[in-house]
Amino acid sequence: MDLVRTSIERYVKLTDPEWAEVEPCWKRYSFAKGEFISHAGRVETRAYIVEHGVQRMYHEHDGNEHCLGFAYGNSWSGDYDSFVGQRPGRFQVQALTESSLVGIERIDLLRLYDRIPAMDRWGRLIVEELIQGRATREIEQLTLPAEERYRRLLKRSPHLMQLVPQKDIASYLRMTPETFSRLRSRVL
Amino acid sequence: MDLVRTSIERYVKLTDPEWAEVEPCWKRYSFAKGEFISHAGRVETRAYIVEHGVQRMYHEHDGNEHCLGFAYGNSWSGDYDSFVGQRPGRFQVQALTESSLVGIERIDLLRLYDRIPAMDRWGRLIVEELIQGRATREIEQLTLPAEERYRRLLKRSPHLMQLVPQKDIASYLRMTPETFSRLRSRVL
DNA sequence: GAGGTCGCTTGATCTGGGTCAAGAACGCTT
DNA sequence: AAGCGTTCTTGACCCAGATCAAGCGACCTC
Q: Which of residues 107-166 of B touch A (CB under 8 A)?
A: 113, 117, 120-121, 123-124, 127-128, 130-132, 134-135, 138-139, 142-143
Tell how strand A99-105 and strand A26-31 pair up.
antiparallel
What is the spatial distance between Cα B126 and Cα B112, in angstroms, rounded to a whole number? Answer: 15
Report residue B62's pLDDT band, with 50, 70 and 90 as the boundaries.
Answer: confident
Q: What is the mean pLDDT of residues A114-121?
A: 95
Single-letter residue type at A139: I
pLDDT for B188: 66
**Chain B contact for A90, CB < 8 A?**
yes
**Chain B contact for A11, CB < 8 A?**
no
> What rounded mean pLDDT belongs to chain B?
92
User: Looking at beta carbons, which residues of chain A come within 8 Å of B61?
Assistant: 139, 142-143
Q: Is the CB of A132 under 7 A from strand D?
A: no
Protein residue with the closest CA to the C1' atom of nucleotide C10: B182
HSE-CB of B178 using CA atoms within 13 angstroms: 0
Task: Confirm if A103 and A26 have CB atoms less than 8 A apart.
Answer: yes
pLDDT per residue as tens digits for the range B85-135: 999 999 999 999 899 999 999 999 999 999 999 999 999 999 999 999 999
pLDDT for A188: 65
Residue A110 C-alpha, separation from nearest chain B C-alpha, in angstroms:
11
- Report the greatest alpha carbon distance in chain A: 57
Q: What is the mean pLDDT of residues A19-26?
A: 97
For residue A104, what are the β-bridge partners?
Answer: A26, A47
Task: Confirm if B7 and B51 have CB atoms less than 8 A apart.
Answer: no
Q: How many CB atoms lie within 10 A of CB A87?
A: 12
What is the spatial distance between Cα B61 and Cα B66, in angstroms, rounded to a whole number? Answer: 8
pLDDT per residue as tens digits for the range A57-106: 999 888 889 999 999 888 899 999 999 999 999 999 999 999 999 999 99
Task: Confirm if A143 and A119 have CB atoms less than 8 A apart.
Answer: no
Of B68, B117, B138, the CB nearest to A117: B117
- Report the greatest alpha carbon distance in chain B: 57
User: Looking at beta carbons, which residues of chain B come within 8 Å of A81?
Assistant: 131-132, 135
Does position B153 have pLDDT exceeding 70, yes or no?
Answer: yes
Distance of CA B82 to CAs A2, A46, B15, B16, B177, Å? 32, 29, 30, 31, 29
Task: Confirm if A48 and A103 have CB atoms less than 8 A apart.
Answer: yes
Q: Is the CB of A176 under 7 A from strand D?
A: no
Single-letter residue type at B80: Y
pLDDT for A69: 92
pLDDT for B64: 84
* Yes or no, beta carbons of A127 and B128 under 8 Å apart: yes
Task: Confirm if A170 and A180 have CB atoms less than 8 A apart.
Answer: yes
Protein-contacted bases of chain C (C-beta within 7 A)? 7-12, 16-21
Q: Is the CB of A181 under 7 A from strand D?
A: yes
Does position B142 have pLDDT exceeding 90, yes or no?
Answer: no
Best CA proximity match to A76, nearest among A105, A91, A107, A55: A55
Angle at A147 between CA B145 and CA B58, to 5 degrees: 55
What is the spatial distance between Cα A77 and Cα A50, in angstroms, rounded to a whole number? Answer: 6
Does position B158 have pLDDT exceeding 90, yes or no?
Answer: no
Tell how strand B76-77 and strand B46-52 pair up.
antiparallel
Does position A38 have pLDDT exceeding 90, yes or no?
Answer: yes
Residue B7, C-beta contacts closer than 8 angstroms, at least 6 positions apart = B49, B74
Does position A187 have pLDDT exceeding 80, yes or no?
Answer: no
| Residue from B142, B171, B176 to probe the interface with A (highest A Cβ count within 10 Å) | B142
Q: DSSP labels for A44-106? A: P-EEEEEEES-EEEEEEETTEEEEEEEE-TT-EES-HHHHHHTS--S-EEEESS-EEEEEEEH
* Yes or no, beta carbons of A131 and B132 under 8 Å apart: no
Q: What is the mean pLDDT of residues A176-186?
A: 90
Question: With b meaning 16 or more CB within 10 Å and e meaning fewer, what string describes B3-25?
Answer: ebeebbeebbebeeebbeebeeb
User: Looking at beta carbons, which residues of chain B come within 8 Å of A64?
Assistant: 143
Query: A117-143 and A146-156 are packed helices; what angle lies between their axes, rounded to 10 degrees?
Result: 140
Q: What is the mean pLDDT of residues A127-153?
A: 88
Residue of A nearest to B139 (CA): A59
Q: Which of B's residues 123-152 have CB atoms within 7 A of nucleic strand D? A: 145-146
pLDDT for A124: 95
pLDDT for A89: 95
Q: In the β-sheet with A46-52, what is the strand arrangement from edge to edge?
A: A26-31, A99-105, A46-52, A76-77
Task: Confirm if A168 and A160 have CB atoms less than 8 A apart.
Answer: no
pLDDT for A162: 86
Does position B141 have pLDDT exceeding 90, yes or no?
Answer: no
pLDDT per residue as tens digits for the range B28-44: 999 998 899 999 999 99
User: Looking at beta carbons, which residues of chain A come within 8 Å of B62?
Assistant: 143
> What rounded mean pLDDT belongs to chain A?
92
CB pairs under 8 A between A and B: 75
